[in-house]
Amino acid sequence: MLVHTEIETIVTTAARAHFFWTKRVEFSHDCFVCRRRGRTVLLDHGASEGRCLSTRKPAELVGRGIHSYEDVSFIHPAPVRISGFDVAESRTDDVVERTLRCRITSWWAPFQDAKDPDEAGTVPTAYPWVRLEYTVGCFACYDNGHTEALSRTGGIQSNLVLPSADTCPTCGQTLLTADSGPKITLVV
Ligand SMILES: [Zn+2]
Ligand SMILES: [Zn+2]
């Protein structure tokens, strides 16, 4: 079954803030490939597949001994991609209001959870969650010689405490605020 999900979010940035959406999205889904509910899929706009982050490799793929997280974590290609990414901005003297509308398209099939066989996967997942990544920076600090001040990565996500603010770690200026989290709408 082909499934489309619309994501919309609005943030406000200071006029003297550097800002762009990185086009990376993390999205929760029930994954029929690894048969687990509530997985996170990593999406990059332009990539033809997503990467599903399952926390553990199947036992038969893990050898004996002590393992790092990377040894046991399991990342597999997932039939999920970003099929639309539209950015809009509206400027006043002091602030810029920035809207991101993003469409996620996935292929989905029914399954029973590999760990809890009584539980069926659903679409959307029981607790839909999304994180939209951005790069934010402070021109005032950059002008004062802090060359790293323009390249900090942050994200706006569903379970943020609202209203939320992102401030410059050097000067404390508020660079970004959000009054609401991303809206997630299923469009089958
Ligand atoms: Zn998966
Ligand atoms: Zn600053």
- Compute the average pLDDT of residues 5-12: 98
Average confidence score pLDDT of the chain: 93
pLDDT of residue 63: 80
Q: Give the pLDDT of residue 14.
A: 96
pLDDT value for 38: 94
Q: How far apart are CA 152 and CA 164, in angstroms?
A: 17
Between 57-61, 88-92, 109-113, 144-148, the lowest mean confidence (pLDDT) is in 57-61
Q: Which range of residues forms the domain containing residue 85? A: 2-187
Which of 65-69, 113-117, 178-182, 184-188 has the lowest average pLDDT? 65-69
Q: What's the CA-to-centroid distance between 170 and ligand 2, angstroms?
A: 5
pLDDT tens digit sequence for 46-78: 999 999 997 777 778 778 888 877 777 888 999
* Element at 69 (helix H, strand E): helix 69-72
Q: 180: CA distance to ligand 2 center in Å? A: 24
What is the CA(64)–ligand 1 centre distance, in A? Answer: 24
Q: What is the pTM of this model?
A: 0.89
- Nearest ligand by distance to the CA of 145: 2
By C-alpha distance, which of 35, 1, 32, 31 is closest to 117?
35
Q: Which residues surround ligand 2, an ion (CB under 5 A)?
A: 138, 141, 168, 170-171
Distance 29 CA to ligand 1 centre (A): 8
pLDDT, mean of residues 127-149: 95
**Total structural domains in the chain?**
1
Angstrom distance (rounded) from CA 96 to CA 74 = 40
- Please name which ligand lies nearest the alpha carbon of 39: 1
The pLDDT assigned to 117 comes to 95
Q: What's the CA-to-centroid distance between 164 and ligand 1, angstroms?
A: 31
At 119 the pLDDT is: 97
